[in-house]
Amino acid sequence: MKLKITVLPGDGIGPEVIDQAVKVVDAVCRKKGHKPEYSHGLVGAAAIDESGDPYPEDTHRLCMESDAVLFGAIGHPRFDNDPKARVRPETGLLAMRKKLGLYANIRPIMTFPSLLHKSPLRKELVEGADFITIRELTGGIYFGRPQGRSEDGNTAYDTCVYHKYEIERICRLAFDFAMKRKKKLTMVDKANVLATSRLWRETVQQLSANYPEVEVEYMFVDNAAMQIIQWPKRFDVLVTENMFGDILTDEASVITGSLGLLPSASIGMHTSVFEPIHGSYPSAAGKNIANPLAAVLSAALMFEYAFNLQNEAWLIRQAVEASFLADIVTEDIDTMNPAKTSEVGDLLADWIDKSKI
Ligand SMILES: NC(=O)c1ccc[n+]([C@@H]2O[C@H](COP(=O)([O-])OP(=O)(O)OC[C@H]3O[C@@H](n4cnc5c(N)ncnc54)[C@H](O)[C@@H]3O)[C@@H](O)[C@H]2O)c1
C-alpha cells in the first residue's frame, strides 16, 4: 500500500523524535511491503524563521494532499519569554488544527507492564489503567474572541466560546468510542460555574438518549484532576473541552511514567495529524536525550486510524515493549544508564526488521 505522509518535525526535540518515528515507519513498511512517500514541511518557530508564518500555506497544502501528517512539536523559549511577540509558534499549531478541521484529539493513556515500577504512583493504583481521553481541539478559550489587552495594558481577557454543533460532533465520537470499549463515558466539565460547560452537559444528556447502552457520568474538572491520579482505573472513555483536556492529559502522563510516552491522534474534517502530546522540551533539543516513544507510538496510531492497518500498529507496540524489556530507554525512564534517543529508534527498527511476526 502507498502511504503519503507529510512530516512536520517542528522545533526543539521535534526533529530528533520524529527521525526515530520515521525510522520505525520505514521498518514497518519494509516488513509489510508498504511504500511510504514522505514530504517535509516547516511549522512553528522553524517556519517563522524561514517565512515569518508559523503555518505557511505551502505546509498546509502538503498536509491537505497527504493521507496523514506526522508532527513533532513546536515552541521556542525566545517566544515563550517574550509576551509581546507578534507571531508565535503556537499560533501555527492552532492554525493547523483549525484549517485541517481537527476537532478531536484522541489520547490513549495506558501502562506498560515492564514500566510499572518506574511510575511515581504506586503499582497497585496504576497497574491495568487503560483509558482514552477525547479532547475537543478547535474551540473553547484557545480560539474564542475577543482576546486581548486593554489600552492601558492592565487588563487582559480571553473568551471561552462553544457552539452546540462543536460539542455534538465530538461527543458523538466519544459515544462511538465508548460503544467499542466498556460502554462507559465520563464527561468532564465545570458546569457549576461555566455557561459553556452547562451547554456541554445539556448536549451530552440529549445525545445519551441515542446511546442507551452507554453509562454516562458527569464530573467536575477539579474532581477529575484528583481522581485521575487517585483512581485511574475507574476511567474508560473521558471526553472534555479543549483546555481541560490539555491539562488533564499532561497530568495523566504521570500514570504511564513519562510525558515522553504519550501519543495522540488529531482527527476531523481533512487529513489527520499524529503527534506526541509533549512540547518541544527546549532544554533537551539537539542533545539526543529525549524520549522518542511518544512520537513512535503516534506513528502506531497513524497506521491504525489513517491507514486502518492494525497489525502494523501492533508491531510497533510490540517493538516498544521489547525496548522496555531490553532496558533500552531514555533518561526520563532510566536515569542511571540511559540510552540515547537515536539508540532507542535503532533498536525498534532493528527489532521490527528481525521480527518473525
Ligand atoms: N503540541 C505541541 O507542540 C506543544 C505542546 C506543549 C507545549 N508546547 C511548547 O513546548 C515548549 C516547552 O513547553 P513545556 O516545557 O511546557 O512542555 P514540554 O512538553 O516541552 O516539556 C515539559 C517537560 O516534560 C518532559 N518531557 C517532555 N517531552 C519529553 C520527551 N520526549 N522525553 C522526555 N521528557 C520529556 C521534560 O521533563 C520537560 O521538561 C513551549 O514553547 C510550549 O509552548 C508545544
Average pLDDT of span 202-229: 98
Residue 138 CB less than 6 A away from ligand 1:
no
Q: Going by CA atoms, what residue is nearest to atom 3 of ligand 1? A: 73
Whether the Cβ atoms of residue 168 and residue 224 lie closer than 8 Å to each other:
no
Q: How confident is the model at residue 146 (pLDDT cuts 50, 70, 90)?
A: very high
Q: How confident is the model at residue 13 (pLDDT cuts 50, 70, 90)?
A: very high
Count other Cβ atoms within 10 Å, centred on residue 239. 27
Residue 75 CB less than 6 A away from ligand 1:
yes
Encode pLDDT of 43-101 as tens digits.
999 999 999 999 999 999 999 999 999 999 999 999 999 988 889 999 999 999 999 99
Q: Going by CA atoms, what residue is nearest to atom 21 of ligand 1? A: 281
Q: How many angstroms is it from 278 CA to the middle of ligand 1?
A: 5
Q: How confident is the model at residue 122 (pLDDT cuts 50, 70, 90)?
A: very high
Residue 223: what pLDDT?
A: 98
Q: How confident is the model at residue 250 (pLDDT cuts 50, 70, 90)?
A: confident
Residue 30 pLDDT greater than 90, yes or no: yes
Least confident of 55-64, 112-121, 125-134: 112-121
Residue 254 pLDDT greater than 90, yes or no: no
- Cα separation of 319 and 338, whole Å? 18
Q: How many angstroms is it from 276 CA to the middle of ligand 1?
A: 10
Average pLDDT of span 140-161: 96
Q: Would you please indicate which residues are annotated as catalytic (active-site) residues?
A: 142, 190, 222, 246, 250
Whether the Cβ atoms of residue 47 and residue 54 lie closer than 8 Å to each other:
yes
Residue 280 CB less than 6 A away from ligand 1:
yes
First to last CA, the chain: 18
Residue 93 CB less than 6 A away from ligand 1:
yes
Residue 159: what pLDDT?
A: 98
Q: How confident is the model at residue 102 (pLDDT cuts 50, 70, 90)?
A: very high
Count other Cβ atoms within 10 Å, centred on residue 355. 13
Residue 279 CB less than 6 A away from ligand 1:
yes
pTM of the full predicted structure? 0.93
Residue 117: what pLDDT?
A: 83
Average pLDDT of the chain, as a whole number: 96
Q: Going by CA atoms, what residue is nearest to atom 35 of ligand 1? A: 260
Task: Assess if CATH 3.40.50.970 describes domain 120-256.
Answer: no
Assign residue 169 a region (left: φ > 0; alpha: ψ between -120 and 50; beta: otherwise).
alpha
Q: How confident is the model at residue 257 (pLDDT cuts 50, 70, 90)?
A: confident
Average pLDDT of span 322-347: 95
Architecture of domain 1-107+261-357: 3-Layer(aba) Sandwich (3.40)
Whether the Cβ atoms of residue 324 and residue 1 lie closer than 8 Å to each other:
no
Residue 357 pLDDT greater than 80, yes or no: no
Percent of residues, the chain, with pLDDT higher than 90: 92
Residue 207 pLDDT greater than 90, yes or no: yes
Residue 90 CB less than 6 A away from ligand 1:
yes
Q: How confident is the model at residue 114 (pLDDT cuts 50, 70, 90)?
A: confident
Q: How many angstroms is it from 329 CA to the middle of ligand 1?
A: 18
Residue 83: what pLDDT?
A: 85
Mutate to test the pocket of ligand 1, among 102, 249, 259, 341 (most ligand atoms within 8 A of CB): 259
- Which atom of ligand 1 approaches the CA of 13 most closely? 31
Residue 145 pLDDT greater than 80, yes or no: yes
Q: Grid coordinates 500555506 are at which residue?
A: 57
Every domain of the chain with CATH number 3.40.718.10 lies at: 1-107+261-357, 120-256
Q: How many angstroms is it from 228 CA to the middle of ligand 1?
A: 21
Q: How many angstroms is it from 215 CA to the middle of ligand 1?
A: 35
Q: How confident is the model at residue 118 (pLDDT cuts 50, 70, 90)?
A: confident
Mutate to test the pocket of ligand 1, among 78, 247, 250, 280 (most ligand atoms within 8 A of CB): 280
Q: How many angstroms is it from 20 CA to the middle of ligand 1?
A: 17
